[in-house]
Amino acid sequence: MTIDQFNFAGKKAFVRVDFNVPLDENFNITDDTRMRAAMPTLKKILADGGSIIIGSHLGRPKGPTDKFSLKHIIKHLEELLGTSVQFADDCMGEDAAKKAAALKPGEVLLLENLRFYAEEEGKPRGLAEDASDEEKKAAKAAVKESQKEFTKKLASYADCYVNDAFGTAHRAHASTALIAKYFDKDNKMFGYLMEKEVKAVDKVLNDIHRPFTAIMGGSKVSSKIDIIENLLNKVDNLIIAGGMTYTFTKALGGKIGLSICEDDKLDLALDLLKKAKDKGVNLVLAVDAKIADSFSNDANTKFCKVNEIPDGWEGLDIGPETEKLFADVIKGSKTILWNGPAGVFEFDNFTHGSRAIGEAVVEATKNGAFSLVGGGDSVACVNKFGLAGGVSYVSTGGGALLEAIEGKVLPGIAAINE
Ligand code: AMP
């Protein structure tokens, strides 16, 4: 079933969204991209005359806590939807079931953070650090067992299930995948966002126009190793940017001062360089850096060669030569995947490199390239620079996008297709 084919009139839809938005210390939403991305789906349901039970997670709570309560987003959700939103402060409580049962066409109920329950993820909590393997196994079995009841109860609130949470599609959680089995094929579907995400991934996996360039930034090689290895089988150019640069630089014998580095990944970096060479992939590393004498926006700064960073200094952004080097490769590309910033873009004085990459991606897109930007920080980056409108697609998924690009079957997608 597709969402366009489905008529929600008189139906209650359980919609799993990804409202895991960043909040500041006063609980203001600092980037509402993920919420806005779910609006077409939610609005279609309301326009049809359906009602909605919204399920989401926020952060990584270990149990109920004010910090990760979805109550903080109600007001903004009401503004985006243009209608009032009811709230159930316990997704398993009496109140939630009552409110869901009483929903009338056009009404919306937001459930409290699903991850307040360990059953959502199906992982045991509160295990003693010195728990034995037996105890761990028993705890896991127990939560898997209670997860069935949890999932069934969520499903019982609604007549149909819509998954629009691409951000968690790579997790086989209760509300993202397991719940789907309580609905037959005609009553479960992707939301519009999920449909778009799946299509965009398909473009960079199966409909590649060459040259294909991937730009991998961010802080650590270790968190991106699988995707880098996989991309080496697909791309023509692989640009390494951001903090992970320095692990490569050090592995190649360069001086990196205090720059972020994973010393246990030096061999891995060399191995990746060799693999790239063997596969004929042009792996592009930074040649210069904007360095700082402390990890702060107000630090003293200067530019230097990437492998000649003085003691006491650290690279927090790429330098102008690298910007040009990267931009030339990007502008000559026909398919582009960008994940991760080129520097500490949260500090205004170290945004230049990420902005330059973004602008090159926009220019390539103007010239006909398909560009997919994904990963939480990359999204914040293109939004910060006002470049989102100039790229082909901004994915809302970080890990999910990367796993999809790795070619893995995502449980959230499989559960709908089954
Ligand atoms: P990731 O979550 O791995 O995509 O990494 C994103 C983070 O990497 C952002 O918070 C950046 O501030 C950080 N980052 C990028 N470049 C650097 C760098 N040169 N030094 C330290 N952190 C960096």
pLDDT, residue 398, reads: 80
For helices 352-366 and 320-331, what crossing angle results, to 10°?
A: 20
pLDDT, residue 220, reads: 87
Q: Six-digit token pair at 221?
A: 């090689």
Residue nearest to atom 18 of ligand 1 (CA): 243
The Å distance, Cα 346 to ligand 1 centre, comes to 9
Residues of the chain with confidence (pLDDT) below 50: none
Residue 50: count other Cβ atoms within 10 Å of its Cβ.
26
Q: Coil, strand or helix: which one is 416?
A: helix
Dump pLDDT digits (tens) for 305-351. 999 999 999 999 999 999 999 999 999 999 999 999 999 999 999 99
Report the residue count for the chain. Answer: 418
pLDDT, residue 397, reads: 82
pLDDT, residue 405, reads: 85
309 and 289 Cβ atoms separated by less than 8 Å: yes
The Å distance, Cα 226 to ligand 1 centre, comes to 18
Helix (H) or strand (E) run with residue 87 in it: strand 86-88
The Å distance, Cα 245 to ligand 1 centre, comes to 10
Within the chain, how many helices (H) and strands (E) appear?
14, 17
pLDDT, residue 376, reads: 63
The Å distance, Cα 166 to ligand 1 centre, comes to 23
What are the residue numbers of the active site?
A: 34, 220, 376, 399
pTM for this predicted structure: 0.82
Q: Please report, as a single letter, which amino acid is at residue 181.
A: K
Residue nearest to atom 1 of ligand 1 (CA): 218
- Sign of the four-CA dihedral 268, 274, 280, 285: positive
Residues near ligand 1 (Cβ within 6 A): 218-220, 223, 242-243, 260, 315-316, 340-341, 343-344, 346, 375, 377
Dump pLDDT digits (tens) for 222-261. 888 888 998 999 999 999 999 999 999 999 999 999 999 9
262 and 247 Cβ atoms separated by less than 8 Å: yes
Q: Please report, as a single letter, which amino acid is at residue 219.
A: S
Residue 407: count other Cβ atoms within 10 Å of its Cβ.
11
